[in-house]
Amino acid sequence: MKNYAASRLSRILLIVLVFALAVSFTGCGGQKHKNEPEITVEYLQGEYVEQLVRDGADVVFGTLDVTGSADSTPLEGSEEAPVTLTQLTINAKEYVTDESAENGYYIADRNKSYITYAGPETRIAFDFAGTGTLDIVTVDEFVNHDISGKYFDVYLFDDQVLLIIERII
């Protein structure tokens, strides 16, 4: 009789444990993205820029050069896979309004360069098709496209690029 009671108790505990695990895993990931806005060019240029600036992001205007890539190293004990980061050099410029200039402005070189990194979380709005309309592109699409002679507003924390928006001039 004792073994039957212990066996029955073990089965009940096993059923409760399985049920508890099933209930706890059911909600995983379901609401994580519920409140995230749809990522559009308008969102990136508006609310996202405001949020980044409010949170203290630095904004650098200039040209970009792809200067390499490196794999990030996850923290010890972390189960995260290494992430490839693309090294970018921002050549800082300044947009100067000048009525005497041919187009009413000129681009001044600030003689400063910043080495930064773009990763999979970097958002990019770029005129990929050359039509004068910005599209959202991945880092890979961006760096494999000719970006020479184009100007960008780059939003970053420390050396990590969070947002790149092409400034069509």
Q: Hey, is 104 helix, strand or coil?
A: coil
In a domain, 91, yes or no: yes
| β pairing state of 135-137 and 160-167 | unpaired
Question: What CATH number is associated with residue 158?
Answer: 2.40.50
Q: What is the Cα–Cα distance from 138 to 81, expressed in whole angstroms?
A: 19
Residue 18 belongs to some domain of the structure: no
Asked if 71 contacts 84 with a C-beta cutoff of 8 angstroms, the reply is yes
Please check whether residue 146 lies inside any domain of the structure.
Answer: yes
Where residue 139 falls (left for φ over 0; alpha for ψ -120 to 50; beta otherwise) is alpha
* pLDDT tens-digit readout, 33-85: 567 789 999 999 999 999 999 999 999 999 999 998 876 666 566 677 777 89
Domain count, the chain: 1
First to last CA, the chain: 86
What percent of the chain is predicted at pLDDT more than 70? 75
Q: Is residue 10 part of a domain?
A: no
Residue 25 lies in a domain: no
pTM of the full predicted structure?
0.74
| Rounded Cα–Cα distance for residues 111 and 96 (Å) | 15
The answer to whether residue 26 sits within a structural domain is no
Find the domain containing 65 and state its range.
41-72+83-167
Is 147 within a domain?
yes
- pLDDT tens digits, 9-34: 556 555 655 555 554 555 544 444 56
